[in-house]
Structure 1
Amino acid sequence: MTRVAFITHGRPGQVGDGVERLMGVARDAGVELIVGPDEAARHGLEPHGDPFDAELVVVLGGDGTMLRALRTFLGTRIPVIGVNFGRVGFLSSMQPDELEVGLVRAFRGELEVVRLPTIELENGDAAHIAVNDVVVTSGELGRMVELEWAVGGEDLGSIPCDGIICSTPSGSTAYNLSNGGPVLMWGIDAMATTFVAPHSLHARPLVVPRGKDVVVWNRTPDVPVVVLVDGHRVGEAPPGGRVTVRLGDAHTLLATLPDATFVSRYRAGFST
């Protein structure tokens, strides 16, 4: 590596002296550290270079910061590697006490890059891309909604529930997991669909392959549903409205150290 950019947690204090340590590793390795305008303002530094000219992006933060970085560099050929300054840090390759050793290895090119699928959303005339998940949920707190759904053009009936989650493999360990959905190992080209608090004994999570659209209709007569992309509200579907999701053509590029495998992260994060 010769040029590396970085993205940090939205609260500068969260990463402690992480930026200074990163700068030291880059300096010792002869790597040009690119400082984008947002990070310069956040940490009192001088802007330097264009982050989109980087060969690698280092994230100092948690999974939320990783998500922001993956979205920012979506569609480029720049992979993203994380140092966990958050809580779970499932998408990160190393912990803060491993920063120096881990980044030296990364800058030497000791990396594996995983291509992770995205989800395309259509809601009326609006279109969005999700890195983690698309959530269709009740627009009124405490009100159940009736969602009809179909996969690949085949109807699967209506489910009274609080909502439905459609998640990528990278998003399957987030809101999807907390609602009892399946964890999708990286490398699986599919999305998980999981209902939130279904009032039914027959609503089960479903793993949907590429090429199958998931269509959700709001069949609640008097309650709109809210559509969220990666946790951000992007629109509504009124009674009778519909939302369509499918695996997208774009992929995010997650860089990992060879020993920071999916299974090792899963074991450390969720098996104890």
Structure 2
Amino acid sequence: MRLEESYKHLEKIENIGVVLRPQSPNLKEAYLKIERLFKENSINVLLEENSANMIDKSGINFDTLCKNIDFLISVGGDGTLIGVVRKSIGYNLPVLGINLGTLGFLTDIKLEELENFIEDLIKNNYTISPRMMIEATINGEKIMAFNDLVIARKNLSSMLEIRAKIDNKAFNTYFGDGLIVATPSGSTAYNLSAGGPIVHPLTNAFILTPVAAHSLTQRPIVVPVDFEIEFKTPNDKAAVIVDGQELYELKEDELISIKISEQKALMLHRCSRDYFEVLSEKLRWGN
């Protein structure tokens, strides 16, 4: 199942919000350049308050920011972008990633490309791409994941047992270090490192990839999102890590329920961005 390739263009571009990578005061010059380039094109720039405090500028609360802008800019790497997407998901705002990190599968442009991108932005020469999100219920709390949700062992000296059901029918029992449940956007993250498949981000599917499985017959599997998936661990030796940013400890036999979210992450891209070129560049295919 494939998501729509793009949403319509923004109705207006008057105000944008900027979030900087945390604990990176060295990004002040980058922010000042971003602010200047947008203001030169009569676009107002609002800075999130934690980012502002970090670089001695004035800023506003994140929720207030989201209510007063047309799209968000994340400045940093993929981790910063994921955090911005997850925090802003209820506001239905497109997010543009400016890559100041290393690999950068998700962040779209480099800082030196921003001036040309703004010209394209004003001409409506861009795309807004929807990305699938995971909705999980853990400890009775609903959690959103953009990249992945990992069930991992807390104790390195013992093997983890994870019992899986699909649509309330027993599906598999995993033994090993853990299990990754990834979105297609997250297929190039931990999933790829653990030997899972790369799945195009416009696909609608869950990717289940065992981590250091005890049995060699346990292989990654791609599951349509029409199913609801449930996991249990028969002891209290497991934790759930969401997008590498939040951790939830599990109780014995606690249920983890996973389904596709009705909400989509909206990614703002250059029209010239080609996913397969990104893969070829980042993974050095053909070199």
* 8 Å Cα contact 1:62-1:92 kept in structure 2: yes
* Residue equivalent to 1:228: 241
TM-score by length of structure 2 reads 0.87
Alpha-carbon distance between aligned partners in 2 of 1:15 and 1:143, rounded to the nearest angstrom: 42
Alpha-carbon distance between aligned partners in 1 of 2:114 and 2:147, rounded to the nearest angstrom: 25
* Residue equivalent to 2:104: 89
* 8 Å Cα contact 1:25-1:104 kept in structure 2: no
Alignment of 1:14-93 (within 5 A): 14-15=26-27, 17-47=29-59, 50-52=64-66, 53-93=68-108
Residue 177 of structure 1 pairs with residue 189 of structure 2:
no
Choose 150-159 or 22-31, whichever is displaced more.
150-159
Helix, strand or coil for the counterpart of 1:180?
Answer: coil
The 1:47–1:159 alpha-carbon spacing in structure 2 relative to 1, beyond 3 Å, is: closer
- 1:107-144: CA deviation from partner (whole Å, max 9, x where unpaired): 44322111111111122422211122111111212421
Alpha-carbon distance between aligned partners in 2 of 1:79 and 1:198, rounded to the nearest angstrom: 38
Helix, strand or coil for the counterpart of 1:22?
Answer: helix
Helix, strand or coil for the counterpart of 2:231?
Answer: strand
Helix, strand or coil for the counterpart of 1:172?
Answer: helix
Which of residues 260, 277, 281 is equivalent to 1:247?
A: 260
Q: CA RMSD in A?
A: 1.9
Note the C-alpha offset of 1:212: 0.8
Note the C-alpha offset of 1:219: 3.4
* 8 Å Cα contact 1:146-1:161 kept in structure 2: yes
The 1:36–1:199 alpha-carbon spacing in structure 2 relative to 1, beyond 3 Å, is: same
Note the C-alpha offset of 1:169: 1.7
Alignment of 1:110-129 (within 5 A): 110-129=125-144
Which of residues 143, 155, 161 is equivalent to 2:158?
A: 143
Choose 258-267 or 226-235, whichever is displaced more.
226-235
Alignment of 1:155-234 (within 5 A): 155-219=170-234, 224-234=237-247
List structure 1 segments (4+ residues) > 4 angstroms apart after TM superposition.
none
- 1:162-189: CA deviation from partner (whole Å, max 9, x where unpaired): 0001111221111111111122212111
Note the C-alpha offset of 1:43: 1.7
Note the C-alpha offset of 1:234: 3.8
* Residue equivalent to 2:269: 256
Which 5+ residue runs of structure 1 have no aligned equivalent?
none
- 1:187-218: CA deviation from partner (whole Å, max 9, x where unpaired): 11112111100011211111121221121221
Helix, strand or coil for the counterpart of 1:82?
Answer: strand
- 1:80-132: CA deviation from partner (whole Å, max 9, x where unpaired): 01110011111111123323222332344322111111111122422211122
Which 5+ residue runs of structure 2 have no aligned equivalent?
1-12
- 1:45-100: CA deviation from partner (whole Å, max 9, x where unpaired): 12369421111212210001101111122022310011100111111111233232
Choose 197-206 or 14-23, whichever is displaced more.
14-23
Alpha-carbon distance between aligned partners in 2 of 1:148 and 1:48, rounded to the nearest angstrom: 45
* Residue equivalent to 2:7: none
* 8 Å Cα contact 1:4-1:56 kept in structure 2: yes
TM-score by length of structure 1 reads 0.92
Residue 2 of structure 1 pairs with residue 51 of structure 2:
no
Residue 103 of structure 1 pairs with residue 115 of structure 2:
no
Alpha-carbon distance between aligned partners in 2 of 1:108 and 1:72, rounded to the nearest angstrom: 29
Note the C-alpha offset of 1:248: 1.3
Alpha-carbon distance between aligned partners in 2 of 1:25 and 1:116, rounded to the nearest angstrom: 28
The 1:11–1:213 alpha-carbon spacing in structure 2 relative to 1, beyond 3 Å, is: same
The 1:245–1:71 alpha-carbon spacing in structure 2 relative to 1, beyond 3 Å, is: same
Aligned residues: 270
Could you tell me the percent identity over the aligned residues?
23
